[in-house]
Structure formats: C-alpha cells, structure tokens
Amino acid sequence: MSNKMAEKLTNFRVFLDGDDQIGVADVQLPELTAMTDTVKGAGIAGEVETPIIGHFSSLAMTINWRVTTKNSLKLAIPKAHDLELRGSVQEYDASTGEYRVWGQKVVVKAIPKKAALGKLDVGTGQDTTSEFEVNYIKVFIDGDEVLELDKYNYIFKVEGTDYLDETRTALGL
C-alpha cells in the first residue's frame, strides 16, 4: 500500500516568456474565490449563497523580489506578461521509505497593478514587490494539467472537466 506525502516545495524559479529567469523571489499565488449570489424565496427555508460556476473574483498575485532588477521592473510595462513558475516538490513514500521529486508548474497571464520599489538599506534585500491581476492560470502537477482558468475565453477546467463548456455552447462560442 502506498502512503505518499508531498512534503515541501524544495525550490522554484520564475520565468518570463518561457525562458528568461527573472530574479530571486517568493510568490503569493492567486486565491480562487467563486463569485456568488444569494438565492432566496419560495421553496427555500432562508437564504443560500450559491457559486456562479466558473466565475471568480479578482485573481491577485504578488511577487516579492529580493532586489530591484531590470527584469523585475520590466514587469511594470502595462500589458499581459506570460509568467511561468516552475517548482520542484519533494515527496516521501512512507511505505518504501524513499523520496521522489516531481515538478509543479504554474503558468499565468499577469497584468501589472503595482510596482513597489522597496527600500534602500545597507546590507539587506530591497523587498521590492510586483502586484498583478491574473486573467489566465494553468497548473500542472507531475506533468499532468490539473487546473486551467481563462476568464476571457470562458474556460474553467479541473482535472480535464471543463465546467464552462455548457456556458460557451449556450453563448454560441
């Protein structure tokens, strides 16, 4: 019997346009918060807050840079940037006592909202930040596509099921 535990992200890199590593950073990925509406009326004992399938609130992403670089400032250009976050995840199999490493990749189209230049202080990082609105995100785990959200093209897939397929058909798309 397998007893695998994904333990930690051992490291990751941030790439612009697929091949330019753009700096030393940590990233706060977007939170998927469904848009909701309150349903009330005849047949319901009270109110129910229901999700609007495949529709999400603003997807904010923040990159915290160690220092300001040309590449980190390039992300202030007012356009959608293609970013790839490639990580290495360490997994432990308790049944065999062995470790294994697998890849995690997050692909986003990110529009800049804020570029904070940080601070200048001797012998420390500058704590520069870039904040973005994400309108597209795709997540791969161990080579498998597990999530895709494309707000402009009405796509919301989780493990191969597109929950907006019927919506696109109803809209004639």
Give per-residue pLDDT as tens, 134-155.
999 999 999 999 999 999 999 9
Structure tokens at 78: 């007012």
* Whole-number average pLDDT of the chain: 94
Share of the chain above pLDDT 90, in %: 83
pLDDT at 110: 97
Tell me which residue of 67, 69, 87 sits closest to 142, measured CA to CA.
87
Rounded CA gap, 13 and 91, in Å? 19
Band (pLDDT 50/70/90 cuts) for residue 1 is low
Residues 80-108 have pLDDT tens digits of 999 999 999 999 999 999 999 999 999 99
Chain position carrying tokens 């597990």: 146
Look at residues 43, 54, 59 and name the one whose alpha carbon lies nearest to residue 164.
54
With a cut of 80, say whether residue 18 has pLDDT above it.
Answer: no
Q: How far apart are the first and last CA of the chain?
A: 46
pTM assigned to the model: 0.91
For the segment 28-55, the average pLDDT, to the nearest whole number, is: 96
Find out whether 113 and 130 touch, Cβ atoms under 8 Å. Answer: no
The pLDDT of residue 2 is above 90: no
Question: If pLDDT is split at 50, 70 and 90, which confidence band does 10 have?
Answer: very high
Q: pLDDT over 70 for what percent of the chain?
A: 99
Residues contacting 107, CB < 8 A, separation 6+: 82, 83, 84, 85, 136, 137, 138, 139, 140
Token pair listed for 138 = 């795709």
For residue 81, give every residue at least 6 positions away whose Cβ sits within 8 Å of its Cβ, in sequence order, or none.
16, 17, 75, 109, 110, 111, 112, 132
For the residues 114-123, what does the mean pLDDT come to?
91
pLDDT at 164: 98
Is residue 50 within 8 Å of residue 37, measured between CB atoms?
yes
Lowest mean pLDDT among 32-36, 75-79, 118-122: 118-122
φ/ψ of 117, rounded to 5, equals -80, -5
Token pair 């992300």 is at which residue?
Answer: 75
